[in-house]
Structure 1
Amino acid sequence: MYTSKNKRVNQMLNLFLSSKDLITIPELEKQLSISRRSVYYSIEKMNQFLDEKGFDKVINVKNLGFYLNQETISALEKSKRFNNEKNEEFFNFSGKQRIETIIWLLINREKVSLTLIETKFDVSRNTADKDFKKISCILKDYQLSLSKNSGGHTINGPEIQKRNWIYEQFSKGNPILFSLLAKRVKSVQNINPLLKEFERMTGNFFTDDAFICLSAYLDWYIDRIQNPVNRLENTNVIPSNLIALEWAQKFLFKNHVVNLGEASYLINTIHSSQFDKANKEYGGIQEILPIAKKIIFRFNRIAGVNLRLDSLQVNLSTHLLATYYRIKYGISYKHPDLDLIKQKYEQLFSFTKFSVRPFEEFVKKDIPDDELALIALYFGGEIKAIEAENLKKQKNDVMIVCSSGIGTSRILKQQLEDRFPEVAFSKPYNTLSYENSSLEDIKLIVSTIKIKNRKGINVLKVSAIPGKQDWKNIESALKKEGLVKTKNPKMNIEGLLDI
């Protein structure tokens, strides 16, 4: 049966379950060795507990006593045990994990009370109350809100926004939500053939991460729309993509749902997931290919690089197809490492923001920073591949970095090679190339601008035209890295005679 974390409530529950007759207040006082006042207090707590579990409260027959109806007794006895040992999986949750779980509970049940949070997570009422205040702030970003009554907290707002929160968590690979679905592995696996069918019908193939995310999300989604209250409004508007519509209607029909509104939602959700390979003949991709070409040209121009158009155009278009659907239908994406990318690849992010303007004109909306971070990684990956190939060919010991990679930096390279012919210096790199290079075999970085240290490799800042002190610092740094040897002074006969 279910048990409460409150020891007294558990004792009282056992008494009611084992008793065949009504139980009076004096009997409860005697059995539990507590005062009359404590008996009433414990009955109130037990009623709260039963209400949270969806069971009927204790029935009071005036002047005769208290009892539980047979339906509640049967339900309690048949239910799986919900004791403290089972709940321990939630006891060590961090504050963030606890809040994510509470939002999940709010979306998936009618009410969540402070008592339930205290019991489930072994926290104080004050902590539970603070959690709800934080949750209220989080939900504002999703156009959702909390309301409170005697039974607990409920979540209010559009059904689409509730789904968006769940989908976003799965797309981030949130371990908390995946663990909550752990007992439904078989039902999740049942989704896989349906997704494979979509790939076969459309020629679009999901990335591994997208496939896992969709399997989990659609399993939750099917369960949710079994309740007609959670379904979107039906519509007579037929989606333009007939192949996707055929698949969506089959998917829903297998789960006993016929609803064009839900079919449209399902199509948009599927398209917003990332494809590894997209069919060029499939709807949408042909419009995006020329836009991707413009973006690459703009990036090459502002970054001073020469990214290959052939493969990058197709890959970028495939990515932008999913971005288009996410932006168009308000399916938010939160990049887990956004701040790190902005900090570590500052120039890459800035150049990307400039380059995607043609796509923003196409969708008629600004691209959120989280989406920009994903696009920036495409450019970064391409630059990294090119620079890794260059470094492998050159096998350099020292990398030269400057603001643009041209001009005075080439003079600097010539001077360095003249003074230290035994050291292999790289071609001049600009900041963007430096941010995205692998730094394989590089032992020292000589830069004319202030740059961030990477991989623990020393960075020596010098003037574009080095002075006397700069040359001393360069020689010292090269010696420290073992790139030049300390030379013993040779005997000078003329000097000796002068002495």
Structure 2
Amino acid sequence: MLNARMSVIIQKLMKAEAAVTSEYLAKFLDVTSRTIRNDIKELETIVLDFGGSIKSTRGIGYEIIIDDDQLFRQLLQDITEKGNENEGIIPTLPEDRVQYILKRLLLAGEYLKLDDLADELYISKSTLQNDLKDIKEIFHRYGITFDKRPNFGFKVVGDEFKLRMCMADHLFNSLETEGDFDPSNIPIFMEKDLNNISRIILNEINKHQIALSDIGLNNLIIHLAITYNRIKDKKYITFYPMELVDLKKQKQYKVAEEIVKVLETELVISIPETEVAYITIHLLGTKMITEFHMNDNDIHGIIDHQIYQTVKKMLETIDNELHLKIEDDQELFMALCLHLKPAMHRLQYGINLTNPLLQDIKSKYPHAFQAAVIAGIVLKQELEMEINENEIGYLALHLGAAMENKKIGIQPKKCIIVCASGVGSARLLASKIKARFGASVDIVGTTEYYKINQIPLHSLDFIISTIPISKDFPIPVIQVNTILGGNDLGKIEKLFSKEINQKLKYIREELVFLQKNFETREEVLHFLGGQLADRGLVNEQFLESVFAREAISPTSYGKFVAIPHPITPLTHSTFWAICTLQKPIKWGDKRVQFICLLNVEKNSTDELQYMYDLLVDMIDNSQIVQQLIKCKTYKEFATVFLKG
């Protein structure tokens, strides 16, 4: 019957809007194309029994054809039930395997042998050793190391506080965040205990009017569940006396004490004072304010001067670098101030608040995420705090909302009509333009040609003229007939619509490098950076800035795409440098085969939303990406890109 890999193949075929190639499935599952073809052969027989078939088209790929909906639904139900039964048992995907090993090590509490772990996962010892390299990288962030003993194996060792942080981040990273907290998502703990912890926290936060999001609530329950289980195993947090004194001064300490009293009574456990401090830290990382509609004076009353100044600097820097014109958005300013107060406590103590929207924010709102990266750099400079990827994602949500509001409030393009034949024909011309373009155009007036020098052109976006104008103006001049024809409207329309050839506006043939044989992110970036430097397009700081941006948050967005770029705009024009690879490489925690090095013009005032929309459309369309990866010539590449 179906193995785990076959289930994944069926799910991929069901979700795809077009045929899926064996190469794509092989890359996704990290197996050979031959293995996929063998799986498909077996699947063809199984699917046939459930009222379906797998159509194979040479050079295009596989797709599922369903003849009997009811019968086929049974197969899908079997796959779902099997997936639930096997969830967390034997992982199929390489990234899932890393998470599985990580969990095994964190929960073992004793030495594990390499051979036993390899047998458990049905993988070779060398594959396991490769996985352990990735795991060591993750542990390194928490100061956790391996203690190795001959004949015993190895186990994890580290500071108790950091171990718990690592557990919270990696044991529960698949928790649902919608609706009520579901303890069945955490099978390693007793459901009864989790229900009790959840109830106690809800009672206390309601009593003390602490505002918590579902994610924040889950985070607190997770940390308390870990605390309870670690105390049972006699594993305690230690704090230096000075830290303890500082935490006792916080009003959240009183709330933590009350939570502890109830926990001790109901769970029959003794909780030391340092653990009260630990709970206080988590309460400090939650929002204590429910009222959002505040004025500037209210904000000053609850937000200290340092946060106020930091947010001010954040928005100034974002506007200086990206010209988003959000610096004076008061609602955004207040939202960021209120968000930053608990976020600073989280950052101070290394608490990682899971962000389930992170991948969607990165891939669907890259412009907002870039603005958040700049905000994070300001935060580091002003408050000397390292900001993590999840927190950058939360900042991006606030900034993205402000950017969307800005789009809603986009001002109409202002123009003036230059007409030689009098007011009547000028009014007719204006009426026709208004009828066609509505609120998108604001006709501020009409004038004769000789008076044009008296008009402040800096307040206009373009000029419409019924006579030829040879003089150069700083804004576009569109010449039309007095009685507008179709072609005349088309000229005006070009200012509002994006023509198809604009899709290639940011792509230069000499900067498209296809089918390269690189093996690391570093090789790709050094190659592309070198190509740009050779052409005099970038300076010596460029690559350093690109690597600094990668260090903050990898620019791989899933579906084999990465869009690296410098932290802030550095080039004299906006363009892309593209590289495709013969084989996928590891880029952060994802595999990548299509790289678009994004360069935005420094101090540009151009509207870049169209460019970012192009990028988002490309990331979303995995079929087009796979076709682009296969292209061997620029002509092929351009044809496929325009088609997408």
User: Shorter-chain-normalised TM-score: which range?
Assistant: 0.5 to 0.7
Is the counterpart of residue 383 in structure 1 residue 403 in structure 2? yes
Match of 2:550 in 1: none
Name the CA shift for 1:423/1:139 in 2 (closer, same or farther; >3 Å). same
Name the CA shift for 1:92/1:327 in 2 (closer, same or farther; >3 Å). closer
Match of 1:154 in 2: 155
Tell me the distance in 2 between the aligned counterparts of 1:284 and 1:290.
14
Given that 1:146 and 1:156 are in contact with CA atoms closer than 8 Å, whether structure 2 keeps it comes out as yes
Match of 1:319 in 2: 339
Aligned-pair distance for 1:171? Answer: 7.3
> Cα deviations across residues 367-411 of structure 1 (Å, max 9, x unaligned)?
4555334323311211112313549999979999xxxxx899646
Aligned-pair distance for 1:326? Answer: 2.3
Runs of 5+ in structure 2 lacking a partner? 1-83, 177-182, 293-297, 414-433, 442-457, 464-474, 499-505, 507-567, 569-605, 619-641
Is the counterpart of residue 196 in structure 1 residue 216 in structure 2? no
TM score, norm. by length of structure 1: 0.56
Letter in 1 for 2:111: K
Match of 2:444 in 1: none
Tell me the distance in 2 between the aligned counterparts of 1:224 and 1:396.
66
Tell me the distance in 1 between the aligned counterparts of 2:86 and 2:616.
43
Tell me the distance in 1 between the aligned counterparts of 2:373 and 2:121.
43
> Cα deviations across residues 432-487 of structure 1 (Å, max 9, x unaligned)?
9xxxxxxxxxxxxx989993415659xxxxxxxxxxxxxxxxxxxxxx9xxxxxxx
> Cα deviations across residues 43-87 of structure 1 (Å, max 9, x unaligned)?
xxxxxxxxxxxxxxxxxxxxxxxxxxxxxxxxxxxxxxxxxx987
Letter in 1 for 2:95: K
Of 388, 391, 395, the residue aligned with 1:371 is 391
Q: Secondary structure at the match of 2:339?
A: helix
Is the counterpart of residue 138 in structure 1 residue 207 in structure 2? no
Q: Secondary structure at the match of 1:204?
A: coil
Aligned-pair distance for 1:110? Answer: 1.9
> Cα deviations across residues 171-191 of structure 1 (Å, max 9, x unaligned)?
75457x984437644432322
Aligned-pair distance for 1:301? Answer: 5.6
| Matched-pair identity in % | 16
Letter in 2 for 1:139: F
Given that 2:215 and 2:354 are in contact with CA atoms closer than 8 Å, whether structure 1 keeps it comes out as no
Runs of 5+ in structure 1 lacking a partner? 1-84, 401-405, 433-445, 458-479, 481-499
Match of 1:76 in 2: none
State the number of aligned residues.
Answer: 354
Q: Secondary structure at the match of 2:385?
A: coil
Tell me the distance in 2 between the aligned counterparts of 1:188 and 1:264.
21
Aligned-pair distance for 1:205? Answer: 0.9
Tell me the distance in 2 between the aligned counterparts of 1:121 and 1:323.
38
Of 266, 276, 293, the residue aligned with 2:279 is 266
Tell me the distance in 2 between the aligned counterparts of 1:449 and 1:408.
21
Structure richer in strand, relative to its length: 2
Q: Secondary structure at the match of 1:232?
A: coil
Letter in 2 for 1:315: A
Given that 1:234 and 1:262 are in contact with CA atoms closer than 8 Å, whether structure 2 keeps it comes out as no
Match of 2:602 in 1: none
Greater mean alpha carbon deviation, residues 284-293 or residues 213-222: 284-293
Match of 1:97 in 2: 96
Letter in 2 for 1:264: A
1:451-470 superposed matches below 5 A: 451-452=611-612, 453=614
Of 231, 245, 250, the residue aligned with 2:253 is 245
Tell me the distance in 2 between the aligned counterparts of 1:198 and 1:392.
51
Letter in 2 for 1:106: L
Letter in 1 for 2:489: F
Aligned-pair distance for 1:129? Answer: 4.2
Given that 1:292 and 1:313 are in contact with CA atoms closer than 8 Å, whether structure 2 keeps it comes out as yes
Q: Secondary structure at the match of 1:91?
A: coil
Aligned-pair distance for 1:154? Answer: 0.8
Match of 2:117 in 1: 117
Name the CA shift for 1:391/1:122 in 2 (closer, same or farther; >3 Å). farther
Q: Secondary structure at the match of 1:385?
A: helix
Q: Secondary structure at the match of 2:110?
A: coil
Aligned-pair distance for 1:217? Answer: 3.3
Given that 1:201 and 1:243 are in contact with CA atoms closer than 8 Å, whether structure 2 keeps it comes out as no
Given that 1:353 and 1:372 are in contact with CA atoms closer than 8 Å, whether structure 2 keeps it comes out as yes
Tell me the distance in 2 between the aligned counterparts of 1:143 and 1:198.
33
Is the counterpart of residue 292 in structure 1 residue 311 in structure 2? yes
Aligned-pair distance for 1:261? Answer: 2.0
Tell me the distance in 1 between the aligned counterparts of 2:201 and 2:387.
28
